[in-house]
Structure 1
């Protein structure tokens, strides 16, 4: 009966996700845009690591994106990157420490 009613009302998985986001099925139907942060901290490629560390700490995400001159994402600096570059970290710039070309996904 419930399925017949859903079909009659043309109730789609998108409707279910919208009206029941807290359940297991709602969680499976969640989109990246529902979960992602839109205020990622960013620094330029040539930013000194002292500046990058401050930016990382300000947002509390433990990460910063690294953008090129056009504002396109060129890399990302994570906690792991900081650990790998501990020796002389403050003498480096963001370009030297970042992981280049990180994987990204669209909000949809």
Structure 2
């Protein structure tokens, strides 16, 4: 069942940790761009997931946006982080398979 929801897209993950000798700590530099957008969200059944990706261990979801989105590095949904696996070529532009990652 498709669930209407919102997700946070993370577009830039090019942050670099640099050592600051004055404070003696590592500081992050770089810009992270986040944008919250509406979407429809479904999780893939384990059998279909095994057929397509060869694993039952990962949590794979299908995200459908109302408009095509720029390529993003990560996606946040309910305090979990997902990375895009592949874009789907369907009638609705912006459908993406995403896989949960542990940070």
Structure showing the higher helix proportion among its residues: 1
Structure with the greater alpha carbon radius of gyration: 1
TM-score calculated relative to the size of structure 1: 0.34
TM-score calculated relative to the size of structure 2: 0.35
